[in-house]
Amino acid sequence: MFSRVQYEHWHTIIPMVAFALTFTVFVYFFVRALRMQRTKADAMSNLPLENDDTPRTRP
């Protein structure tokens, strides 16, 4: 039954484009992280994950 389904050529291009885009973004950020100065990396590692001025709810 499924042997009758014929995929057109553009169906195979979409996964390749998605993979290439994901790989390009990953490589960009990887190279950017490697080239980062040590002082900037230390400063960024000490940043808080949340702001302290957010309103707190009472339990």
pLDDT per residue over 24-33, tens digit each?
999 999 999 9
End-to-end alpha carbon distance in the chain: 59
pLDDT above 60 for 48: yes
Q: Helical H runs in 1-59?
A: 10-35, 38-45
Residue 33 Cα to chain centre, angstroms: 13
Q: Which residue has the tokens 């230390």?
A: 42
| Tokens coding 39 | 């002082």
How confident is the prediction for the chain on average, in pLDDT? 83
